[in-house]
């Protein structure tokens, strides 16, 4: 089965963007994880700001 790297665009470093998510944001994130189910190979993590294309930074990743 193919695997895909999902990169999340962020305005700063991932850990900074994860500070104090609202309960709704946290719930939506976990609902997405549960919806993907067994296709989720690695839930991923926040990253340190990495310059990306299009004027944004990569703030995190997942592998599906």
What pLDDT is attached to residue 34?
A: 93
Tell me what the pLDDT averaged over the chain comes to: 78
Residue at token pair 């500070």: 19
Q: How far is CA 18 from CA 1, 29, 45, 48, 59, in A?
A: 31, 11, 10, 12, 9
What pLDDT is attached to residue 58?
A: 76
More confident residue, 62 or 47: 62
Q: List pLDDT tens digits, range 31-60.
A: 989 999 999 999 988 777 656 555 567 778
What pLDDT is attached to residue 19?
A: 61
What pLDDT is attached to residue 42?
A: 93
Distance CA(34)–CA(15), nearest Å, equals 22
Is 10 a residue whose pLDDT tops 90?
no
The pair of three-digit structure tokens given for residue 64, joined into one six-digit string? 């599906």
């Amino acid at each position: 089965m193919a695997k895909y790297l999902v990169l999340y665009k962020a305005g700063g470093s991932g850990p900074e963007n994860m500070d104090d998510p609202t309960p709704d944001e946290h719930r939506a994130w976990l609902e997405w994880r549960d919806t993907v189910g067994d296709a989720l190979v690695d839930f991923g993590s926040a990253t340190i700001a990495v310059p990306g294309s299009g004027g944004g930074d990569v703030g995190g990743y997942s592998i599906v």
